[in-house]
Each structure stands twice: as structure tokens, then as C-alpha cells.
A and B are shown apart, each in its own frame.
Chain A
């Protein structure tokens, strides 16, 4: 049985050829990160499970549209992101949109190593929940899969500059929490 580890090359080529074992390995590799991303955006267990399943099925059906094999992860998250946006529009069209544009300045933020103590866990989740969906989406993609700015831009359909500013804003909010500064 194929097992995918962090640094192992993904069996995307085999999956393209219709190898069920390869698909199993890919799905297994991404099922928890994808669910985490979807759940933290829409906060509904059954809907999140449905979106993960639909994303897997869509990925298997449309693998021919994937240009670069090493972009499989961001491509799969992109499919799930679209489904989250559809779900969001259906549930709360008047409140937020995942495609919301903001006018934050295009400020680059350097890599911030965030470590969370046990006492800060609840606060971290509270901060995450208080972010708007576009900011939460960017931060989750950055934390859960460590996607690059360009990959996050491709997943969310936002401009790289917008992604940078959202990430900067979200990280600032977290940094203030973790260093005990007032928001």
C-alpha cells in the first residue's frame, strides 16, 4: 500500500493513470488537512464531510485539468475552497463572501514562527473565529499546508498582493495575542 509522507513525492502520475492505490494514498494524505480547512471556514461537520467527499470525487474526475503534478495539493484545496464559497453564499449571502476584497496595503510579512502554549490554545481559536472568512481562509491555508502566497492566491482566486495583506493582518492579530499586546 502506498503511504505518502511529508517529503515523499505524491503519486499524482499514477493517479492520472487511474491507479486506485495512488488515489487512496492521495486522499489519505489530504483528508484531515482538507477537512480542517473546510470545517474552520464553515463550522458545520456534516457539510464539511460532504465538501471533502465532493472535492475528492471532482479531483478524480478532473485530474486531466491539473497542469503540474506538484500543484496537486493547492489544486485540491482550490476545489474545496470553491465549494466552501458556494456553501457560504447559500447559507449567509448577506454577511460575508469568501471572495471579499479589502483595501489593506500590500505589505509583505516575513515568516513568523508561531508557537502556541496550552493556555493560549483557546484564545488562538477565538482569534481565528473572529477573523473574517477571507482572512481566516488565508491564515488557515498558510498554517495547515504552508502554501506559498502564489498558491494561496490561486486557491482563493485573490491577487497575490491581497493575500499578502490579509496574511499580514491575520498574523499581526495573532502576534499581538501571543505577545500579550492589546489588539
Chain B
């Protein structure tokens, strides 16, 4: 008489050599680091370089922010008059233009001097 466990395990006893090979293959992968592990190790070995590069980028960013505050564009924008004043100036400018364009036309044009041939004839007659 056998227990179900004995019966089941005995049934597969012949596969043991193949299972030993499977075990050896699995054990061989223990020495080989996984992709994630290799990646972690790579990043860890580069930690000082990465820290340096990050610090430089932070400094660049801060400098950029500081200089952006005193740039000509920012200053010009700060000194810009309010929109109401600008609108009033624009209206004034338009009014002046209209005044110029609506000037009355000039009176009779000045008489042209006589032609040279006509002047010569008058001299001869005299």
C-alpha cells in the first residue's frame, strides 16, 4: 500500500537526472545579474558624474532665471504705460492725421511766365 504522495513521486522518479540539469541551469543564473540589476549597478557607479551634471544644470537654470529678471525685454515691459494712456495717445494721433488730410485745397494756381518766343515777338514790336 502506498500513500498518494509516494505513488505520485515514484511515478516521476525517472525524470530526476533531467531535473538535476534544470537545477544546475537555474543555479548558473544566480551568478549572472539580471538586466535590472546590471542597470542599477551601472547607475550606481556613475552616481558622482550624474550628481555633478545635475548640479551644473541646476546652476544654469538658476542663472537663467536671475538674468531673465533684468533683461531689456523685461525692463521695457515694466516701463510700459498703462493701456488707457496708450489708447488716448492713439486717439490723439488719429485726430492729428485727420486734421492734416482734411486741409482746404489751394486757390488759383500762379500764372505761368510767358513763353520765350512770345516775349521775343513783343520786343520786336516795340
**Interface of A with B (CB < 8 Å)?**
18, 20, 23-24, 27-28, 31-33, 35-36, 39-40, 45, 49, 52-53, 56-57, 60-61, 114-117, 121, 124-125, 140, 143-144, 146
Contacts and interface: CB of A to CB of B under 8 A. Distances in A.
A146 B9 CA distance: 13
Chain A contact surface mostly? helix
Interface of B: 1-5, 7-9, 11-13, 15-16, 18-20, 22-23, 25-27, 29-31, 34
Nearest to A121: B7
A32 B2 CA distance: 17
Nearest to B3: A115
B5 A143 contact: yes
Chain B CB count within 10 A is highest, among A24, A31, A60, A124, for: A31
Contacts, number: 79
B16 A32 contact: yes
B7 A144 contact: no
Chain B CB count within 10 A is highest, among A36, A124, A140, for: A36
Nearest to B6: A116
A89 to B, nearest CB: 23
Given A20-B30, A60-B29, A143 B23 contact: no
B8 A27 contact: no
Given A36-B8, A49-B15, A53-B22, 9 more contacts: A18-B30, A28-B23, A31-B23, A32-B15, A49-B18, A56-B22, A60-B26, A114-B4, A115-B3
Given A23-B27, A32-B16, A57-B29, A114 B3 contact: yes
Contact of A116 (B4, B16, B18, B31): B4
Given A52-B22, A124-B7, A117 B27 contact: no
A120 to B, nearest CB: 9
Given A23-B30, A33-B9, A124 B19 contact: no
B9 A32 contact: yes
A143 B4 contact: yes
